[in-house]
Amino acid sequence: MSSAAGVFTHIDRNQYNIHAVRLDKDGTWWLLDPNEPMDSPEALARAAGMRVVAGDPTIEGLVIIEPGERTLDIVRVDVAFPVLHGPFGEDGTFQGLAAMAGWPCVGSGVLGSSVGMDKVLMKQVFFQNDLPSTDFIWFTKKSWMAESDRILKAVNQEIGFPCFVKPANAGSSVGISKVKSAEELWTAINIAAEYDRKILVEKGVNARELECAVLGNHQPQTSVVGEILPGNEFYDYEAKYQSEGSRTLAPADIDNDIAEKIKWMAARAFSSLDCAGLGRVDFLLDKNNGDLFVNEINTIPGFTPISMYPHLWEKSGISYTELISKLIELAIEDHEDRKCLKNSRID
Ligand SMILES: Nc1ncnc2c1ncn2[C@@H]1O[C@H](COP(=O)(O)OP(=O)(O)O)[C@@H](O)[C@H]1O
Ligand SMILES: [Mg+2]
C-alpha cells in the first residue's frame, strides 16, 4: 500500500477529485472516508470507509452497500456459466469479474480466454509450442495509417495471395476477407481496421475445415473430429448464420492417423493456452499437400443443442445434459485448485 499512499499524497488535487478505494484480502471493497489520514500504508490499512460494490455499467461507479441492513436480496452464485460471445464474454473480462467476485466459472480463466480471443497472441503461443499455424504478419491500425506502403509491400513479399485479412479480435468471421490480389488488399485491411486496433494477414490455404472439441482441465479429453462444409467460398458470416448451404459432418471422413493427430494437437493447443473446461479447436487441412494447421481455438464455442461442440460430444458418447453437468463440475474443480494456492485471495 506504499505506492497507493504515494499516489494519494502526490496526485494534483487542483486537477483531480479523488476517491480512495481499498481492496481487502477477503475481496471486500471499501470507499475510504476522505477525512481519514492516508499518507502511509498503515494509515490506508486502518482508514474507515463504507462497503462498496462495482460492476454495473449503467452506474459507471461504485454502489455503496450496508451489509446487515440490506434493502435488496442477495442471490448466491455457486457457479457462473457464461454463455456469451465476443468482448466482455469470452475475452477474459467476464472471467476476471467472476474471479474477483470469487465465483467458480465454467470455461477458461482470464489468461486462456484473453489469449484465445487475440488471434496474434494465440498464433504466437501455437508456434512456441510447435503447433503449426499459417504464416502471418500483424500490425496495428495506427501503423497501417502511418506506413501503409511498407505494410502492403511486406504482405506481397512475405505472405502472397490468396491471403486472409483479419481483425485480431474477431469472431463469427466479422471483418475477415479473403484477398486474391494486391489490388484488393487495401480495402480488406481498411475493413479489418474498423473492428480492431490490431490486424493480421495470413497465408490462405486451400483447405478442408476440421474441428475437435476439448473437455477437461488437466489432461483434457478430445472428441471425434468433425468437418465444416461451407456453403460459400470460405466460412464467412453469411455461410455461418444466413445461408442454407453450409453443412457439418461428424465424424469427418478422414484417415485415422489424421484424426489422431488432430486430437493430439487440439489437446496441446488447449493446454498451451492454459484453457480450462471447454474449447473447440479448428484446423485447416491443406487439400493440396495434406499439411495440417491449427486455425484457432474458441474458448466459448457455439453451444446450442445442435452446435458443433455439443454435437461432437454427442457423437463421442456424452449427451448435451451430461456435458453441461461435466462443465459445472470442472468449473468447481478448477476453482478448488486455485483456492488452495498460497497467494489465492479467495476464501
Ligand atoms: N489461413 C486461412 N486459409 C484458408 N481459410 C481461412 C484461413 N483463415 C480463415 N479462413 C476461413 O475464414 C473463416 C473464419 O476465419 P477464423 O480465423 O476462423 O475467424 P473467426 O474467429 O471469425 O471464426 C474460417 O472458418 C475459414 O473458412
Ligand atoms: Mg473460426
> 164 is in which domain, residue-wise?
136-203
Residue 251 half-sphere exposure toward CB, CA atoms < 13 A? 16
Q: How many CA atoms lie within 13 A of 26 on its CB side?
A: 3
CATH number at residue 166: 3.30.1490.20
How far is 44 from 125, CA to CA, in rounded Å?
A: 41
List, chain by chain if needed, residues with CB within 6 Å of any ligand 1 atom. 134, 164, 166, 170-173, 176, 202-205, 207, 209, 230, 234-235, 282, 284, 295-296
Please give the distance, rounded to the nearest whole angstrom, from the Cα atom of residue 284 to the centre of ligand 1. Answer: 9
Separation of alpha carbons 182 and 187, rounded Å: 10
210 touches 260 (CB < 8 A): no
From 163, 164, 201, give the residue whose CB has the most ligand 1 atoms within 8 Å, as the site to mutate. Answer: 164
**What is the pLDDT at residue 81?**
95
Residue 51's SS3 state is: strand
40 with 188, same domain: the answer is no
pLDDT at 99: 92
Report the number of distinct structural domains present in the chain.
3
Average the pLDDT over 195-224 and give the result: 97
Ligand nearest to the CA of 233: 1
Q: Whose CA is nearest to atom 27 of ligand 1?
A: 235
**pLDDT > 90: what percent of the chain?**
75
Kindly tell me if the per-residue pLDDT of 326 is higher than 50: yes
Considering 203, 219, 246, which residue would you say is the last residue of a domain?
Answer: 203
Tell me whether residue 216 is in a domain: yes
Which ligand number lies closest to the CA of residue 201?
A: 1
What value does the mean pLDDT take over residues 176-199? 97
Nearest CA to ligand 1 atom 6: 204
The alpha carbons of the chain give a radius of gyration, in whole angstroms, of 24
In percent, the amount of the chain with pLDDT more than 70 equals 97
Q: How confident is the model at residue 240 (pLDDT cuts 50, 70, 90)?
A: confident
Residues 50 and 124 in one domain: no
Distance 102 CA to ligand 2 centre (A): 31
pLDDT at 2: 83
Q: Are residues 192 and 312 in the same domain?
A: no
CB-CB contact of 275 with 297 (8 Å):
yes
pLDDT at position 227, please? 98
**Is the predicted pLDDT of residue 71 greater than 70, yes or no?**
no
What are 280's three cell numbers?
Answer: 473447440
| pTM for the structure as a whole | 0.93
Four-point Cα dihedral 141, 143, 146, 148, nearest 10: -80
pLDDT at 5: 87
State the Cα–Cα distance between residues 152 and 162, nearest whole angstrom: 14
Average pLDDT score over residue span 32-40: 92
Residues 148-181 have pLDDT tens digits of 999 999 999 999 999 999 999 978 889 999 999 9
* Cα dihedral across residues 293, 299, 302, 307: positive or negative: positive
Q: Which pLDDT score, from 0 to 100, does residue 347 have?
A: 46
Same domain, 260 and 118: yes
How confident is the model at residue 8, as a pLDDT? Answer: 86
